[in-house]
């Protein structure tokens, strides 16, 4: 095994270890029997509706991607574009940050669009996503300033109330993240000069923004951009009605948890496992749902932990379903292309 492969394996093991470490900390004092009983009380129709919204977000991303690709002078079918996006999210569940590579590679194989051009459009998507997330963060601060202040206090309280083992686990998790970041940065700088990387990044952005400037269907592009984020919001908000403990929460509470969940998904664990659960649990406890206390004698069926578990499982199922369908469609499309040629 060469060093490059070994490094990737070690990074993945560390990422997986971080995810399971957080999950262990969260669930170690939960009663599994009573937890199952509480899950059985969940109103499934709201969860299914959340999954439908999640699936539509994939479709909107695929259709928006086509508009960017068209502006560069290339053509892609709707089915292939949506399928490639779905495969990308499916890949991210297992290997963090690998979805973009698999997404571009998949569409290159079916529609023969250069990978570097596709990466340029994805860079633009990432910039737009960041701008939208920043806007939502500012909006959340304006609407939920007191809750955000309480969220910070809750973090401080958890630090003082945690057991020694919990603090040790948290410290280990932080160290793992820092080590992973250092290894990645070191490898990145060794492979190519920083200046060249910056130039490549700028060129990719220029190529991507050129596609926005030249696009003919700007209305369609912005429609799907807003549609994606509305679906993200509804995925969380609609699940409030699936549990009695969260049914009273408001739209602004949903926005608050959407922002927190987005931050949790940034942490390099496969599919946001553990990190999403932890940060949303803290957010819900701030809103008066459940508790942040994880020690012995706490709530054995903490609703603040049950809610993010349900949402995460539902959206994981969406990723599996959409990804599996996407793989099948891309396989058939590639086979047809090979037969035709």
More confident position, 7 or 48: 48
Answer whether 333's CB lies under 8 Å from 80's CB.
yes
Q: Which residue has the tokens 């984020």?
A: 229
**pLDDT per position as a tens digit, 125-158:** 888 888 888 888 888 888 877 766 766 665 555 5
Tokens of 207: 């190529």
pLDDT at 166: 47
Answer whether 61's CB lies under 8 Å from 313's CB.
no
Q: How confident is the model at residue 183 (pLDDT cuts 50, 70, 90)?
A: low
> Looking at the predicted structure, is the pLDDT value of residue 323 above 60?
yes
Q: Which long-range contacts (CB under 8 A, 24 or more apart) does 177-182 make?
A: 177/18, 177/267, 177/268, 179/14, 180/11, 180/14, 180/15, 180/268
Closest CA to 303 of 314, 286, 289, 315: 289
Q: How confident is the model at residue 84 (pLDDT cuts 50, 70, 90)?
A: very high
Tokens of 226: 């807003």
Which residues fall within 8 angstroms of residue 166, CB to CB, at 6 or more apart? Answer: 25, 294, 295
**pLDDT per position as a tens digit, 194-221:** 556 566 666 656 665 666 776 788 899 9
CA distance 161 to 142: 30
Tokens of 86: 């779905």
| Greatest distance between any 2 Cα atoms in the chain | 67
DSSP at 73: T
* φ/ψ of residue 248, rounded to 5: -90, -10
Instruction: Spell out a b/e string for 221-233, using b for 16 or more CB atoms within 10 Å of the CB, else e.
Output: beebbebbbebbb
């Amino acid at each position: 095994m060469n060093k490059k492969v070994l490094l990737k394996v070690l990074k993945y093991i560390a990422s997986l270890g971080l995810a399971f470490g957080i999950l262990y900390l969260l669930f170690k004092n939960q009663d599994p029997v009573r937890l199952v009983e509480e899950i059985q009380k969940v109103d499934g129709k709201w969860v299914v509706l959340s999954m439908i919204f999640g699936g539509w977000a994939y479709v909107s991303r695929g259709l928006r991607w086509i508009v960017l690709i068209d502006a560069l002078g290339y053509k892609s079918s709707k089915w292939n574009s949506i399928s490639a996006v779905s495969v990308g999210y499916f890949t991210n569940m297992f290997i963090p940050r690998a979805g973009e590579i698999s997404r571009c590679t998949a569409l290159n194989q079916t529609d023969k669009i250069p990978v570097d051009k596709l990466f340029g459009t994805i860079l633009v998507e990432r910039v737009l996503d960041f701008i939208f997330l920043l806007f939502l963060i500012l909006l959340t601060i304006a609407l939920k300033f007191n809750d955000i202040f309480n969220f910070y206090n809750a973090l401080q309280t958890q630090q003082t109330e945690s057991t020694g083992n919990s603090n040790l686990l948290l410290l280990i998790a932080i160290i793992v993240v820092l080590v992973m970041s250092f290894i990645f940065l070191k490898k990145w700088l060794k492979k190519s000069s920083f200046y060249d990387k910056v130039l490549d990044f700028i060129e990719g952005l220029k190529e991507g923004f050129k596609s926005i400037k030249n696009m003919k269907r700007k209305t369609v592009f912005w429609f799907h951009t807003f549609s994606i984020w509305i679906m993200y919001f509804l995925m969380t908000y609609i699940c409030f009605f699936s549990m009695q403990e969260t049914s009273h929460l408001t739209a602004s509470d949903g926005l608050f948890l959407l922002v927190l969940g987005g931050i949790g998904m940034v942490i390099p664990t496969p599919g946001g496992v553990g990190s999403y659960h932890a940060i949303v649990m803290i957010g819900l406890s701030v809103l008066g749902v459940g508790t942040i206390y994880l020690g012995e004698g706490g709530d054995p069926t903490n609703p603040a932990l049950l809610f993010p578990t349900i949402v995460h499982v539902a959206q994981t199922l969406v990723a599996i379903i959409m990804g599996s369908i996407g793989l099948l469609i891309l396989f058939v499309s590639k086979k047809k292309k090979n037969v035709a040629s």
